[in-house]
Amino acid sequence: MARRWHCYVCGAVLPKNATRRRLYCGPACRAQAYRDRQITERIGALGRLLLKAVATDNDRLLRRLLCPVCGRMTYAAGSRRRDAKYCSARCRDRAYRRRRRQYRHVEASEKRAVPTGTTR
């Protein structure tokens, strides 16, 4: 049986005549692989930055590099989005929900504090 090659990115089976050097099924996957490689390099750079921040006690830099939700290293500093500060969408959602819960809590206590005769 002939060896079948799969796209490195999406796992699609490459055509039978694909050579060993052909790693991707198309330009989209090749571009994706290129982006992945760039991210890997960025993570390496951020890791070095984090080590430096720890060594020099650079709190501001540390805060930028660590996720405020789980405390893990976040790649937000290397993200295209300037406001990104969480390590993942999951942590962003968690922070969002936490904020909302706090807001609701404040809202509830304010309601309690307001003396009204219209109690339900």
Between CA 86 and CA 63 the distance in angstroms is 10
Per the listing, tokens 């079948």 go with 4
Check binding of 7 to Zn ion (CB under 5 A).
yes
Check binding of 29 to Zn ion (CB under 5 A).
yes
The dihedral over CA atoms of 89, 95, 101, 106, expressed in degrees to the nearest 10, equals -150
Check binding of 95 to Zn ion (CB under 5 A).
no
Question: Do residues 7 and 23 make contact, with C-beta atoms less than 8 angstroms apart?
Answer: yes
Between CA 26 and CA 117 the distance in angstroms is 69
> Which of 70, 73, 79, 43 lies closest to 61, judged by CA?
73
Residue among 49, 66, 69, 76 that touches Zn ion (CB under 5 A): 69
Check binding of 62 to Zn ion (CB under 5 A).
no
Check binding of 67 to Zn ion (CB under 5 A).
yes
For residue 117, the minimal CB distance to Zn ion (Å) is 46
Check binding of 9 to Zn ion (CB under 5 A).
yes
Nearer to Zn ion, 69 or 77 (CB): 69
Residues making contact with Zn ion (CB under 5 A): 7, 9-10, 12, 25, 29, 67, 69-70, 87, 91
